[in-house]
Amino acid sequence: MAQSSRFTEADYYQEHFDSRAYVNSFYGRPEGHDDEKNYLTCILGCLSKTFLSGRYRGRRLIEVGSGPTLHTVISACEYFEEIVLSDYTDRNREEVEKWLRNEDGCFDWKPIFEYFCAKDGSSSSDLEVKLRQRVKQVLKCNVLAENPFHPECVEPADCVITSLCLEAACKDHQSYRDAVGRVANLLRPGGALVMIGVLGETFYSVNKTRFSCLSLSKANIEDVLRNLDVTVQEFNIFPAEDRENNKVSDFEAFFFLVALKSTKAI
């Protein structure tokens, strides 16, 4: 298995990350990758429950570190007029843009759309059209930079989502703390932060190439959030199943949290 002897930082992703292999392996069906058992189904369920509640809505939603994926914004697109996706790696953004243009050979997200539509009886094809209409930008993003979208300046959002990005981009706890702060700063007062991530993970692999991950605990994340101007609404932890047979990652648990930014002036 190919791997870097050091933490796999942004340039390593740019050179080695296989976007199509990643979505094929982990997002080809709602059940996700066989080795990761209930991870994807559980996350899809959390996203569906969160956005179908109608509590979180507004004009603009930003996803920080979308990778080559769409699953985190499918159920949200009914509730936000404008969606901004972003990633550091060129091939990841290209993979998303191919789907947005409905090009021949783009990745088939229909099974994931159908999963969400089964929850409320809506049409998956209508939802695909709506998401294509509502994604307004796919931006270059570096969560380690003071302005992650430099040279773009993005207006504050009503909701910001980040999923499996920060622990893969940050090699130590201080850089993670700083990155979470930058993500929270993208929110308008009263906006919702949705974070999805893994606990205790040190690596994951795509097409036999290994990528590093910063090992986090629930206490690490709670400490970071405690020092931000947010109030946690829910913080759910889901232990990994059958860890000894998981060859593609070593996460101990995954988490789904929602926090609201204060409406008070600082």
Q: Which residues are annotated as a binding site?
A: 22, 27, 65-66, 87, 92
Identify residue 252 by its one-letter amino acid code: E
Strand pairing category for 157-163 and 58-64? parallel
- Count of other CB atoms within 10 angstroms of residue 133: 12
Residues across the chain = 266
* Sheet of 58-64, strands arranged across: 135-140, 80-87, 58-64, 157-163, 187-199, 253-261, 230-239
Cα–Cα distance measured from residue 80 to residue 87, given in angstroms and rounded to the nearest whole number: 20
Cα–Cα distance measured from residue 210 to residue 204, given in angstroms and rounded to the nearest whole number: 6
Q: Say if residues 33 and 40 touch (Cβ distance below 8 Å).
A: yes
- Token pair listed for 44: 């899809």
Q: Say if residues 68 and 165 touch (Cβ distance below 8 Å).
A: no
CA 175 vs CA 54, 167, 222: distances in Å = 33, 10, 16
Binding residues for S-adenosyl-L-methionine: 22, 27, 65-66, 87, 92
